[in-house]
Structure 1
Amino acid sequence: MQVTFNLPDDVAQRVNALENCLPQILELGLREFEAITHVGFSGIAEVLEFLATLPTPEEIIALRPSPALQTQIQTLLEKNRTVGLTPDEEKIWQSYEYLEHLVRMAKAKALLKLKDYSSTKTG
């Protein structure tokens, strides 16, 4: 399929230089766009992006949910208590539970690293 659209000159130059990669670039861009517009995913993406920066053990231990993520979780908890979750909301809740599990594992490993570091430093 052929698609025609107008781009700002600076973007057109960048696209022109990557012409052979354009289908892959569009696919990646569409995936990211769909992910950030999916309800609930933005909070998960925040945590995963943080972990992808390879934070220090201290930064991992200090990790707390953003206010937006905390609000999403509280909203789902309240809805679950009152009227129940839809199947889509249940999937989101399960992904939050799994994310919490991953963060707990990361924090436990970070604590072990700090403990090992302090014992080798004093020993």
Structure 2
Amino acid sequence: MQVIFDLPDDVVSQLYPLEDKLPQILELGLRELNAITQSEFSGVAEVLEFLANLPTPEAIIALRPSLALQAQISALLEKNRTVGLTPTEEQLWQSYQYLEHVVRMAKARAFVKLQEIDGE
């Protein structure tokens, strides 16, 4: 595939010696751009870090989204109802849905563990 770019001269002068590495440069740049976009996925990291710390079953069952995370979810829901989501927002929404699935699984397992403890 051939792609043509209009770039400033200073960028061209930096890229010229790396011409054979342009596909790698673009791939790395896209990864970096995606990582920056993922910073919008705030609130999620705190949930994953919480679960990674192997909390007690009671703490897992008590887990609720932070106000910031809940606000992001609510904003996406509202936008979806009114004007629709962009592809990036749709991807973010799918990530939130997956996180909810993971948390539900953790809560279900925590509940089973508590029942096993109570049954002893």
* TM-score past 0.5 threshold: yes
Matched residue, 1:76: 76
Q: Is the 8 A contact 1:57 1:110 kept in 2?
A: yes
Q: Is the 8 A contact 1:35 1:42 kept in 2?
A: no
Letter in 1 for 2:79: K
Q: 1:15-61 CA distances to partner (integer Å, 9 max, x unpaired)? A: xxxxxxxxxxxxxxxx8xx8576343212111101101110000000
In 2, the alpha carbon distance for the partners of 1:92 and 1:113 equals 32
1:48 equivalent to 2:44? Answer no
Q: Which aligned runs of 4 or more in structure 1 are off by greater than 4 angstroms? A: 34-37
Matched residue, 1:63: 63
Matched residue, 1:115: 115
TM-score by length of 1: 0.67
Question: Sequence identity of aligned pairs in percent?
Answer: 70
SS in 1 for 2:64: coil
Q: Is the 8 A contact 1:76 1:89 kept in 2?
A: yes
TM-score by length of 2: 0.68
SS in 1 for 2:43: helix
Matched residue, 1:94: 94
Coordinate RMSD, CA, aligned: 1.7
1:101–1:107: structure 2 CA closer, same or farther, 3 Å change rule?
same
In 1, the alpha carbon distance for the partners of 2:90 and 2:62 equals 28
SS in 1 for 2:84: coil
In 1, the alpha carbon distance for the partners of 2:106 and 2:61 equals 8
In 2, the alpha carbon distance for the partners of 1:37 and 1:50 equals 22
